[in-house]
Amino acid sequence: MMQTRFKSHGLLHSFLPHAKIGLKATAILRLLVTGVLFFSVTAVALADRVDDLLKMLQSKTPMDRREAAHELGRAKDSRAVSPLIAALKDEEPMVRLDVSGALIEIGEPVVDPLIQAMKLDNDSIFLWNAIRVLEEVGDPKAIEPLKEIEQKHPDPSIQQISKYALEKLQRTQKP
């Protein structure tokens, strides 16, 4: 009866059709241990890679900074949030674009630090990029800070982009 049960589970049985239950259990255990080791090694490698990418984000070469931003977004590592927020002021527009994309890809973990940074930095380029990130992430925590910017920021273009982001956020919120 146990043999029939394994047949219905398919994949392992197809590789070990005549093996005894104990051998199949051992095979499953080995697969699990191998998977855990693989993911542990991968996590360590990714952590080392993030450290390298954070250094690369400071490179003098815009292409290196762009690549670092892109890869940090894919890694979604929380250590990248603050350096990426700082990089929203990069002198190269394409770097800022890639940094914005990385922050959007990381998603919700960037919202609170980005809102805090916006309270401390009134630079129009930084605010424009930060507002676009908040708009795309779509977290309702951004609504009040965006209202304040729309009402109080001296730059009309920042007021306008904030208004647009607010409208989009409010449309996407559930009633």
Last residue of a domain, one of 39, 56, 73: 56
26: tokens are: 């051992």
In terms of domains, do 105 and 134 share one?
Answer: yes
Q: For all residues of the chain together, what is the average pLDDT?
A: 82
pLDDT of residue 77: 92
In terms of domains, do 82 and 130 share one?
Answer: yes
In terms of domains, do 150 and 68 share one?
Answer: yes
Q: How confident is the model at residue 97 (pLDDT cuts 50, 70, 90)?
A: very high
Question: pLDDT of 121-133, one tens digit each?
Answer: 989 999 999 999 9
pLDDT of residue 35: 57
In terms of domains, do 110 and 46 share one?
Answer: no
Range of the structural domain that residue 7 is part of: 1-56
Last residue of a domain, one of 56, 76, 94: 56
| CA separation, residue 79 to residues 1, 69, 121 (Å) | 52, 12, 21
Q: From the centroid of its chain, how far is CA 21?
A: 43
pLDDT greater than 90 at residue 4: no
In terms of domains, do 107 and 135 share one?
Answer: yes
Rounded CA-CA distance 142/137 in Å is 9
pLDDT of residue 172: 85
Question: pLDDT of 100-144, one tens digit each?
Answer: 999 999 999 999 999 999 999 989 999 999 999 999 999 999 999
In terms of domains, do 79 and 165 share one?
Answer: yes
In terms of domains, do 97 and 35 share one?
Answer: no
Predicted TM-score (pTM) of the model is: 0.73
Q: From the centroid of its chain, how far is CA 94?
A: 19
pLDDT greater than 60 at residue 39: no
CATH code of 161's domain: 1.25.10.10
In terms of domains, do 49 and 65 share one?
Answer: no
In terms of domains, do 23 and 1 share one?
Answer: yes
Domain count, the chain: 2
Question: pLDDT of 13-37, one tens digit each?
Answer: 444 455 455 555 565 556 555 554 4
In terms of domains, do 68 and 9 share one?
Answer: no
